[in-house]
Chains A and B, each alone.
Chain A
Amino acid sequence: MISYMINHIPVLIVIVPLCGAVLCPAISHFSPSAGKRTVIGALLAAFCMSIIQLASVIKAGEAFHYWLGGWQPPYGIEFVIDGVNGIIIVLVSFIGFMTALFSSPFEEADKEAPFRSAGYYSILCFLVIGLLGLSSTGDAFNLYVFMEIVALSGYGLIAIGEKKGPIAAFRYLLTGTIGASAYLLGVGLLYSATGTLNMADLAIRLREVDNMPVIVMAMACLIVGFGIKMALFPLHGWQPAAHSYAHPAADPMIAGVMIKIPAYAMFRFFFCIFDSSLPMMKTIFTIIGIMAVLGILFGSLKALRYDKFNKILAYSSIGQVGYIALGFSIGNFYGIAGAVLHILSHAFMKTGLFYTSAAFKYRYGIHYTDQLGQVYRKMPVTCGALVVLSLSMTGLPPFAGFFSKWYLALGAIQNGQYLYVAVLIISSLLSAIYFFRIFERLFMGEKTVTEPESDAHEGTAPGLEVPLRMLIPIGFAALMVIALGLGNSFIVNGILKTTVMGVL
């Protein structure tokens, strides 16, 4: 029975949370808090299954194919799980579960309006489902559908945030729709040249296409599409407002994971589908590299200008996404390993930082860094996590951020692209400046905040800074950053090596 279930795990990881998401409104009509528990339980189940799946993929040593509807590809849709997306699925389901847990103090079930909490959890769960599907699917059009699920739930979670949320969501909606349409056009162009939509089949049939302009045009469309979705430098316009004004509890998911998974999809297109030995691929990678370098410098410089905690983190994300794109443009094993490792480590770092930001908002209503003075006395665990995560962002060993940058630098040196190494170092110094400014205000600033009314937060047990359901995710994010830093060689050599080497 268990081995039979293992065969179905790739689809169950998506379907079990989906059942939770669609039934959440109906369940919470009868019992206000049961809908919330259903979603959290479904996400926990997805996380457990994703670990089993990753273990069995590593054990089998080859990609796992699941034919939906029993139709053989390319006639039907398939899910393809290999080492790289196996580990990304674990990441998404873990952070999804943690974020659902983290949100529960923000969205306490209200007997008067039970639907508000149920709707929030339903949308959050859809965001996780979309990201899981986006990383597992092996069909180009199916990827578009999942991309739209991610985008729509993102619009909802941004719009129900702070006061400027609706405007930020509306701008993201316009830009995101252009991105999705550009992606669809790119897929249409590839379809016109090959007649198929399955990714593996596309890769085979594109080798025989001698009509180069159509491939170039498709690549341009795909770069625009993925670039908008992952907020790559000149296409990042929607990102700072969206990440700053989103719902505080869902923000970790939006800022930490939502912009990383399109980057992984881009990796799949540019390395698994297109023939990377084509002469013009070099030009394409150089263009991506230029966008990445400009993005890294722009994001780091812009982050220096702001005092609002979320804005600093949002602009820093533009730079960090640049690192991932830089790894793809380097294009050798170390570059790609560094990029994938950076997807993982930055997801934990940025999610953890947004957790701490939301915890400050929850406890004291802090939005600006100059209000942070002496807060560490009252919130030691949160501020400890903040320090660990920030040091990892600046790239200090032994945290995860150092190792991903290390692999990127190794790859750049191997290719002789010393400019990229210089950019990596400069940007690390810049990020050190803006994070140490936060530290300065936190540890040396004057105390400005006042203790909130004691009965404002009933969920907080005595002796705790914030409810336990918020402390656990914060602690886990910090622990994972350390664990990823210490276990990086296992991930790179044990999991990524076989898959990435097979692609190159």
Chain B
Amino acid sequence: MIDIIETFLAEKGIYMMTFVLMGLGILGMISCGNYMKKIMCMNIMQVSIIFFFLALGQKEQGTLPVFVENLLGADAYINPLPHALMLTAIVVSLGTTGVALALLMKIKGIYGTIEEEEITGEGWRK
């Protein structure tokens, strides 16, 4: 059983898992009523994209992209580009989360709650 899962993940199943994770994240953002939970789901979605890029950059028998003495050649190292891109994406998602939390504190201060139904129930559309 474990073998089957391992081969599944090692070949292409990891992409499926990232898409499942992304779907779950967006689903949570739509269905959760609590704004804090929405932020958490947003982070889950962003992480799934990071997984996707990192899975693309994998290479069999490749090592960390840091030069080692006497080890040259493109086959010896994994692809450094997705790692660099995802460092940027992580910092961006950190910034977004920081702003989201600040907004949440502000909303809590104004309305006294962070439940969507209580805030946008009556009188919101006026």
Contacts and interface: CB of A to CB of B under 8 A. Distances in A.
Interface of A: 141, 144-145, 148, 151-152, 155-156, 159, 163-164, 166-167, 169-170, 173-174, 177-178, 181, 184-185, 188, 191-192, 197
B85 A181 contact: no
Contact of A185 (B38, B49, B92): B49
B100 A170 contact: yes
A177 B42 contact: yes
A152 B42 contact: no
Interface in B82-109: 85, 88-89, 92, 95-96, 99-100, 103-104, 106-107
Nearest to B88: A145
Nearest to B98: A152
Given A166-B107, A188-B49, 6 more contacts: A141-B88, A169-B103, A177-B96, A178-B45, A184-B89, A192-B56
Given A177-B42, A178-B45, A188-B52, A152 B110 contact: no
A268 to B, nearest CB: 20
B26 A152 contact: no
A174 to B, nearest CB: 6
B122 to A, nearest CB: 14
A214 to B, nearest CB: 11
Nearest to A151: B96
B9 to A, nearest CB: 18
A156 B103 CA distance: 9
Nearest to B108: A166
B96 A148 contact: yes
Nearest to A148: B92
8 contacts: A170-B35, A173-B103, A174-B29, A177-B45, A178-B26, A181-B49, A192-B56, A197-B81
B78 interface: no
Nearest to A142: B88
Contacts of B85: 141
B119 A152 contact: no
Contacts of B29: 174, 178
Given A181-B45, A192-B56, A155 B88 contact: no
Nearest to B111: A167
B84 to A, nearest CB: 10
Contacts of B81: 197
B112 to A, nearest CB: 13
Closest 4 CB pairs of A and B: A166-B106, A170-B103, A148-B92, A166-B107
B108 to A, nearest CB: 10
A166 B99 contact: no
B64 to A, nearest CB: 21
Nearest to A176: B96
B49 A173 contact: no
Q: Which of A155, A177, A197 has the most CB atoms of chain B within a 10 A radius of its CB?
A: A177
A188 B95 CA distance: 21
A380 to B, nearest CB: 32
Nearest to B109: A166
Interface string B63-82: 00000000000000000010
Contacts of B119: 167
Contacts of A155: 99, 103
A188 B56 contact: yes
B89 to A, nearest CB: 7
Given A174-B29, A181-B45, A188-B49, A166 B103 contact: yes
A412 B38 CA distance: 43
Nearest to A175: B29
A151 B52 CA distance: 23
Given A167-B107, A170-B107, A181-B45, A152 B95 contact: yes
Contacts of B7: none
A213 B42 CA distance: 27
Q: Which of A164, A167, A191 has the most CB atoms of chain B within a 10 A radius of its CB?
A: A167
B53 A173 contact: no
Nearest to A183: B49
A472 B35 CA distance: 42
Contacts of A141: 85, 88
Contacts of A145: 88, 92
B46 A170 contact: no
Nearest to B102: A159
Contacts of B46: 177, 181
Nearest to B92: A148
Contacts of B53: 188
A167 B120 contact: yes
Contact of B103 (A151, A159, A163): A159
A232 B84 CA distance: 32
